[in-house]
Structures are given as C-alpha cells and as structure tokens.
Amino acid sequence: MQFKKILLPFDGSEHSVNATKCALDIAKRYNAHVTIIYCYEEWDTNVSEIPEALIKDIKASRKQEAGVILKRAEGIFENQDVDYKLETINGSPGSVLTNLSKSHNFDLIIMGSHGHSDIAGLFLGSVTHKVLNTIYCPVLVVP
C-alpha cells in the first residue's frame, strides 16, 4: 500500500505529538504529503447580553490559539524534507475529520489515541472513536 496523502489532526497533547512523529517517519518513507490540522470550535454567540466586539475578540483569540498550537507540530516537521501544510479549521473535530477524509481522498489518517477533549472515551478519546466509526480509509492510532 502506498501513502501519498496523510491527514494528521493535531491538538498539542502528548498523544498528538507522538502521532506527529510517527506521521513524519511514514511521510519520509513514502515521500508523502502531510496535512496537519487543528480543529477549534468558535464560541457560541447565541448570548445576546455580550457585546459584539467582545465576541469578535474571543473568536480572534481562538483562531490565534489554534495557530500557536500548530506551531508545535510545525517544529517537528520543519527542516525534515517532508512536504506538509498547516490548517486551522473551525468545527467539531470528528465532523471535520470525516468531511476532510471524504473530500480530499487521504490515503491515511494518523492520530493520537487521546487528545485534549473535554469528554474522554472509555478506551479511546471521543474524537478518535468517532473517526474510527465514520471514516473509510486506514486510520493509524498512536498512543
């Protein structure tokens, strides 16, 4: 099996860093492109008592925080002779990963077994569990 397009969700957790190192090794071996993504959910703006300016600041802060988290993954990939790109995407991680895997025809998804989720699954993280149940390409789960 050849892996040319790898999707790597990254959230900065220890398991995510381990998955990133694994993705780097596999990308080197197969000369693959890696898309590294961080999903963030914008704050719900259905609260009418909060000024619009504050809501905009919160949204900007969330996006900036996402960029900072991705810099950690970039530090692992930079100067490694591997083609990669970084993306921050607004949305629920499980849904975003499912949609991306279908629309971009990734050959492999590499992800940590657990992340910085508010609700952890019993044996696997909740996002990892959702991905394993909705995606039809190979998924490598890294502890």
Helix (H, G, I), strand (E, B) or coil at 138: coil
Q: Which two tokens mark 45?
A: 């703006």
For helices 126-134 and 93-104, angle between their N-to-C axes, nearest 10 degrees: 30
Beta strand pairing status for 33-40 and 84-90? parallel
7 strand-pairing partners: 35, 109
pLDDT attached to residue 124: 47
Q: Which two tokens mark 98?
A: 């499912």
pLDDT tens for the 143 residues of the chain, in order: 789 999 999 999 999 999 999 999 999 999 999 999 998 877 665 666 778 888 788 888 888 888 899 999 999 999 999 999 999 998 888 788 888 887 878 999 999 887 655 434 434 456 666 666 677 788 898 98
Domains of the chain listed by start with CATH number: 1-92+139-143 (3.40.50.620)
